[in-house]
Amino acid sequence: MRLRTNWQLPTIPSSLV
């Protein structure tokens, strides 16, 4: 669930990669 919030944050889009 926390991952969902991470991807929503445009602060670190690189993390999604």
SS3 label, residue 1: coil
**How does residue 17 score in pLDDT terms, banded at 50, 70 and 90?**
low
* Cβ partners under 8 Å of residue 15, min gap 6: 6, 7
Distances, alpha carbon 12 to alpha carbons 1, 4, 8, 16, in Å: 17, 13, 9, 8
Is pLDDT above 60 for 8?
yes
* Cβ partners under 8 Å of residue 7, min gap 6: 15, 16
**pTM across the whole model:** 0.04
